[in-house]
Amino acid sequence: MRFKSIFSNSFGILISRVTGLGRDIMMTSTLGASVWSDVFLMAFKFPNLFRRIFAEGSFTQSFMPSYVASRQKGVFAVAIFLRFMLIIIAFSFLVTLFPEFFTKLLAWDWGPDLISKTAPLTVINFWYLDLIFIVTFLGTLLQYKEHFFTTAFSTVWLNIAMIACLIYYAKSSPETIVYALSFSILVGGLLQVLTHLFAIRKKGLSKILIGGWKYRKVKDVRQEESKFKKLFIPSVVGNSTAQIASFIDTSLASFLVAGSVSYLFYANRVFQLPFAIIALAITTALFPAISKAIKNENETLAFANLSKAFWLLNLLLGVSVLGGILLAEPIVWLLFERGNFTPQDTRNTADVLMMYMVGLIPFGLAKLFSLYLYAMHKHIKAAKIAVISLVINLIFSVILMQPFGAAGLALAGSIGGMAQMVLTIKEVGWDRFVEIIKNIKTLYFLIGMTIFGIILYFINQFLIHLIR
């Protein structure tokens, strides 16, 4: 297992997420959990949905195996980039022409006044998708070279642009702030592109892309393109379900009390910190190695990497789960309770955070074992599992949203994650899973987590007494 790659990826993500939390803390202080914060977050949700579906997971997981196997890597890469870029630009123009229609898809229960406020922001924010696809494409090429830091770190530029905007416009009206934030997102996206272009040149990949452009009409890559197309659609389905579930949760939250969208967003931001730093960092760093091992028909090496990552993932995520559940209110209080963010907002967000944290290990393990399926080109199997978990998520969302509010929506997501984990492990093979956990490490893990949980419980009681 490549610990250097994992560390560099985790470190880059850590810096990115910490600055992201700083950005969110400033947002809560400036906008609170208000109508204008809901409007901005709803507009930003739309490009984020498509960014995560098309530009990140699905693209990388279908592009990487095809790129590894391609004999004309430069030509293949350029051909795929041009096709995607044209489609995304066309879609961006479509959103620009019909902003209220697309905004209404986000918030079913919002009236004409809120839709009219959100629609212009939806247009501005959506163009971020075009920039971030370029980032994702270049980042995937860097991943092939086992360079992860640039992509992991690059989101810092987005956060810095937004933080600078919040500082400059802190005393402006909420409407001015959300418009300025939307334009700062485009500035941050442009800085991300420039950072990746510099890394591409430094790693010597610019020659491959220039050669791919030069010979794109001469070299035949139709076979590689055909393989990519067969992998991409199932990969889109497999990677989109979590984002679609989040998208639907945001829309369902619009039926609940004011601020529910914000509670989900802020709690999810805290949840995403350990998930990204640990689960995404480990799986992203492992994927090129597993893909290359499978291509070389060395399944033993691929599974050995998977097994080592399993224990590292469980240890780090287990600590995060206990901390996130037992210290939920102090964490939210420390990060967000200032300015317009009230103690009641803290309690509501903490309830949501606890429900999200229930699913942290299941989501992490589902992500880990799905790597094996994608490397084996079993994208259709992974897609079917993801769809089943989405259906389970939606059923429980409808059931739990009324009695438990936004926390019920978060719990439904965790239940969907558990279903995805079980089904993914079943597809990889229960015998292999049992082989991993049939180890003295399992006992040590359970004892260690129990002791750590008891310690955190008493720390939480002390902190709650202190802050309240």
What pLDDT does residue 74 have?
Answer: 75
What pLDDT does residue 217 have?
Answer: 63
Rounded to whole angstroms, the Cα distance separating 316 from 320 reads: 6
What pLDDT does residue 3 have?
Answer: 65
Q: Which of 50-59, 204-213, 417-426 has the lowest mean pLDDT?
A: 50-59
Contact (CB, 8 A) for 166 and 25: no
């220039």: which residue's tokens?
210
Running DSSP on this structure, what letter comes out for residue 359? Answer: T
pLDDT higher than threshold 70 for residue 411: yes
What pLDDT does residue 389 have?
Answer: 92
Q: How much is the mean pLDDT over the chain?
A: 81
**Percent residues over pLDDT 90 in the chain:** 18
pLDDT higher than threshold 70 for residue 215: no
Rounded to whole angstroms, the Cα distance separating 19 from 17 reads: 5
What pLDDT does residue 1 have?
Answer: 52
Average pLDDT over residues 85-106: 87
What pLDDT does residue 375 have?
Answer: 74
Average pLDDT over residues 313-338: 86
pLDDT tens per residue across span 422-443: 999 999 888 888 887 777 677 7
CA 409 to chain centre: 18
pLDDT higher than threshold 70 for residue 220: no
What pLDDT does residue 346 have?
Answer: 86
pLDDT higher than threshold 80 for residue 21: no
Select the more confidently predicted residue: 68 or 120. 120
pLDDT tens per residue across span 284-293: 777 777 777 7
Rounded to whole angstroms, the Cα distance separating 449 from 436 reads: 18
What pLDDT does residue 466 have?
Answer: 65
Domain ranges of the chain: 3-467
Residue 348's contacts (CB-CB under 8 Å, 6 or more residues apart) are 259, 263, 405, 406, 407
In terms of Cβ atoms closer than 10 Å to its own Cβ (0-12, 13-18, 19+), residue 14 is middle
What pLDDT does residue 423 have?
Answer: 94
Tell me the residue length of the chain. 468
pLDDT higher than threshold 90 for residue 59: no
Q: Which of 168-182, 288-302, 320-334 has the lowest mean pLDDT?
A: 288-302
Rounded to whole angstroms, the Cα distance separating 429 from 308 reads: 17
What pLDDT does residue 93 have?
Answer: 93
Residue 80's contacts (CB-CB under 8 Å, 6 or more residues apart) are 63, 137, 225, 228
What pLDDT does residue 41 have?
Answer: 81
CB atoms inside a 10 Å sphere around CB 83 = 13
Q: What is the DSSP string of 127-162?
A: THHHHHHHHHHHHHHHHHTT--HHHHHHHHHHHHHH
What pLDDT does residue 392 have?
Answer: 93
Rounded to whole angstroms, the Cα distance separating 110 from 106 reads: 9
pLDDT higher than threshold 60 for residue 367: yes
Q: Which of 208-212, 260-264, 314-318, 346-350 has the lowest mean pLDDT?
A: 208-212
The first and second tokens of residue 312, run together, are 């590292």
Select the more confidently predicted residue: 361 or 66. 361
pLDDT tens per residue across span 222-235: 666 677 777 777 77
Secondary structure class of 398 (helix, strand, coil): helix
Q: pTM score, two decimals?
A: 0.71
Average pLDDT over residues 3-31: 78
Confidence band for 419, pLDDT divided at 50, 70 and 90: very high
pLDDT higher than threshold 70 for residue 52: no
What angle separates helix 73-97 from helix 59-69, to the nearest 10 degrees? 160
pLDDT higher than threshold 80 for residue 376: no
pLDDT higher than threshold 60 for residue 328: yes
What pLDDT does residue 77 have?
Answer: 81
What pLDDT does residue 416 have?
Answer: 92
What pLDDT does residue 278 have?
Answer: 84
Select the more confidently predicted residue: 35 or 176. 176
What pLDDT does residue 174 have?
Answer: 79
Rounded to whole angstroms, the Cα distance separating 463 from 340 reads: 22
What pLDDT does residue 270 have?
Answer: 87
Average pLDDT over residues 250-274: 82
